[in-house]
Amino acid sequence: MDFINSIFAWFSNNPGILIGLGISSNFIFLISIIGISWFVAQIPEDYFLSVKRKPSKWNEQKPILRLLVLFGKNIIGLSLIVGGLLMIILPGQGLLTIITGLLLINYPGKFKLEQKIVGIPSVFRALNWIRIKANKPPLKRNSVHL
């Protein structure tokens, strides 16, 4: 209990930090909403039909640029995960921000996790709803993913 009281005391002595966290929470929320819609619209419609992830065109082209984009994407993803964890206890959409961060970063088993998430019927319907709003064809998936 003393620890919690000390946190509240620290924030009351440093109100600027709390205001900054609130502003950044709202900013991350807006970026998450816009980013998720944009990312979902960019997914190829046949992305979830294959069992394994298809090799990217980036593998053969411009390796330096690919590394820079990969590094930046992973830094942004990690920042979103940390921000989402903070938003679980602070105002904001913590889980949405964490999921956005997880979709951005690279880690082993990511494609299988994506397939399991898309295998949830309500998630699949929501993704296709976003794609319809973006004038993109609906995603396709194998019946195995159901």
Q: Is the residue at 15 inside a domain? A: no
Segment 110-131 mean pLDDT: 86
Give CA–CA dist 26/86, Å, rounded.
12
16 is a domain residue: no
pLDDT number for residue 104? 83
Name which residue leads in pLDDT, 113 or 78: 78
Q: Name the residue among 76, 45, 64, 48 with its Cα closest to residue 139.
A: 45
- Over residues 76-108, the pLDDT tens digits come to 889 888 888 887 776 666 776 787 788 789 889
Q: What is the mean pLDDT of the chain?
A: 81
pTM score? 0.62
Give a yes or no: residue 1 inside a domain. no
Residue 7 belongs to a domain: no
Q: What are the tens digits of pLDDT across the range 56-77? A: 666 667 778 888 888 999 998 8
What range defines the domain where residue 92 resides? Answer: 24-145
Residue 43 counted as domain residue: yes
Number of domains within the chain: 1
Rounded distance, CA 80 to CA 111, Å?
Answer: 19
What residues contact residue 85 under an 8 Å CB cut-off, 6+ apart? 94, 98
Does residue 10 fall inside a structural domain? no
Residue 17: inside a domain: no
Q: Does residue 14 belong to any structural domain of this protein?
A: no
